[in-house]
Amino acid sequence: MHVNNFRPIEDNNDKLRHMRTKIIMLLLGFLLLNCKDQTSAIKQIDNTSVTQEKVITPIPSVINDLGEFIGIAFSDSLTVDDVFNFKKIDLNNVVTSIDMTQSVLLYKKMTKREKASSFPIFEVKNTNNVILPVQGLGFGGPIWAIVLLDTNTLEIKNIAFNHFAESDGYGAAMTHSTFEDEFIGTVINLEDDTFMMQKNLDSRIDDGVIIDGISGATMTSAAAIQMVNEGLKRYKEYLRP
């Protein structure tokens, strides 16, 4: 008996349609998975960019202190580069431009006992003012100061003293405004001593400005005055017109 193996065309068409549907679904699944991977990668890149944008180099405390000294506060709209030019002068009186990191290192060296071989210069942009650090040795160890000077008139606009270990109630009073204010407003002399302590008035032969000094701290007072006199002279080649 002969058996007819022929299947209806409709059945074959159904199988083909079913296979095509499976293939299409597989392709769609692959495409969707690929799109998700790409979207995830893009999000990761975007997140990385945001993270990188949020990484901001912190401003060194020294620079913040200098900003406060001249009456400004740094912000997103007022950066260090907006305010300062950084330079140095060496023992050969050569002035060169440096970056902020180098300036901070030079400044910190000036707060130590060893004598500096290069001195930082902090020019205040869009003004005639410059901050000049000076260093010395007091009764209890290193002393130093920052001087805000008008480069046109050579007038001291502001000054701030600091110290390592001067005695409270005595030499440490060098940081008080009563002592610092005696220097402000003076036009400095780049050749001779600008300041002289009251105690040495009898031996004075120039027209220097008299500083009363700190009560009970004669050595510290004399050291601070000498530091300002000699320290500012180190910058004279930079300050000359």
User: Tell me: the pLDDT tens digits for 161-218?
Assistant: 999 989 898 899 899 999 999 999 999 999 999 999 987 555 554 568 999 989 888 9
Q: How confident is the model at residue 50 (pLDDT cuts 50, 70, 90)?
A: very low
The reply to whether 65 and 51 lie within a common domain is no
Q: What is the mean pLDDT of residues 218-230?
A: 95
Coil, helix or strand at residue 36: helix
State which residues form the domain around 185.
61-239
d(CA 102, CA 87): 9
* Signed CA dihedral, 64, 150, 210, 233: sign only: positive
The reply to whether 17 and 69 lie within a common domain is no
The reply to whether 51 and 92 lie within a common domain is no
Helices (H), the chain: 9-54, 61-69, 80-83, 100-109, 177-180, 218-233, 236-239
Q: What pairing do the DSSP bridges indicate for beta strands 118-124 and 84-90?
A: antiparallel
Q: Give the pLDDT confidence score for residue 213 in this predicted structure.
A: 86
Q: Region of 220 please: left (phi>0), alpha (psi -120 to 50) or beta.
A: alpha
Q: Give the pLDDT confidence score for residue 229 in this predicted structure.
A: 97
Provide the domain count of the chain: 2
The reply to whether 101 and 177 lie within a common domain is yes
Query: Are the CB atoms for 80 and 64 separated by under 8 Å?
Result: no
The reply to whether 156 and 204 lie within a common domain is yes
Q: How confident is the model at residue 41 (pLDDT cuts 50, 70, 90)?
A: low
d(CA 161, CA 174): 6
